[in-house]
């Protein structure tokens, strides 16, 4: 019970940090639907150098070992936070494509998924090397006129996310898809760059704290598992 209580508290702390990020976004930029500060709206293409597409070969059913090539799964981005472990190992007979390797600082957006999950966006804070984009995930290469962390949290804002999801189209029975053209034409509110940078600094510090808490949670869960095994073996007393 004590071990489970610690896990529950740590999980609650992580949820509170997510709420903190949302409140900071609202405090600095306001409700993006109402746009109370009257930020100018511009098409996304004005702030993009390009949008990269990936590659989805037939891969193995297990994650790529560290230092070996793999391809991300949709689940690496779907939750709005980048998960490097959500990947599949590239078969040894296939040649990797280095131009679509994922790097720290990349901004990734799912172009194809279910209606509720299409348009999910994640920023790569950390990643193991040798992981490639699948063809279901875009990478935004931005100009200096916009901050990637701001754009990440804008895409994850509840109301703006709905706008992005409505860009998707597809025939009945297929997964909705967002084209590059529709993303390029997407209108976004554009606060001053210094405010975007100020916001990004807060988010990066918060993400560092979250990473430490997630490591702590993983250790707690491992300890819980060990306790349970010892209990069933009668080794606690």
Low-confidence ranges of the chain (pLDDT < 50): none
The span from the CA of 122 to the CA of 108, in Å, is 5
What pLDDT, on a 0 to 100 scale, did the predictor assign at position 156?
Answer: 92
DSSP letter, residue 136: T
Q: Is 58 helix (H, G, I), strand (E, B) or coil?
A: coil
pLDDT at 170: 79
Q: What span, in angstroms and rounded, lies between the C-alpha atoms of 44 and 100? A: 21
Q: Quick one: pLDDT at residue 218?
A: 83
pLDDT of residue 179: 94
Please report the pLDDT score of residue 2 as a whole number: 82
Arithmetic mean of pLDDT over the chain: 91
The predicted structure's pLDDT at residue 222: 84
pLDDT at residue 173, rounded to an integer: 64
pLDDT at 172: 59
């Amino acid at each position: 019970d004590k071990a489970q209580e610690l896990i529950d508290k740590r999980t609650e702390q992580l949820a509170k940090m997510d709420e903190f990020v949302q409140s900071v976004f609202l405090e600095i930029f306001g409700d993006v639907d109402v746009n109370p500060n009257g930020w100018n709206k511009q098409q996304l293409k004005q702030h993009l150098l390009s949008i990269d597409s990936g590659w989805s070969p037939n891969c193995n059913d297990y994650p790529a070992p560290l230092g070996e090539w793999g391809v991300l799964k949709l689940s690496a981005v779907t939750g709005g936070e980048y998960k490097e472990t959500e990947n599949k190992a590239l078969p040894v007979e296939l040649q990797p494509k280095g131009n679509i390797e994922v790097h720290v600082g990349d901004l990734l957006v799912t172009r194809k998924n279910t209606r509720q999950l299409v348009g999910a966006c994640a920023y790569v804070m950390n990643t193991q090397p040798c992981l490639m984009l699948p063809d279901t995930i875009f990478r935004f290469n931005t100009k200096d006129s916009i901050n990637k962390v701001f754009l990440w949290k804008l895409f994850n804002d509840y109301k703006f996310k709905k706008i992005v999801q409505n860009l998707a189209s597809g025939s009945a029975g297929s997964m909705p898809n967002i084209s590059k053209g529709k993303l390029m034409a997407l209108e976004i509110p554009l606060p001053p760059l210094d405010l975007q940078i100020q916001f990004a600094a807060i988010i990066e510090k918060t993400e560092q704290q979250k990473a430490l808490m997630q490591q702590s949670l993983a250790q707690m869960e491992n300890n819980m598992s060990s306790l349970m095994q010892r209990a069933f073996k009668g080794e606690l007393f």
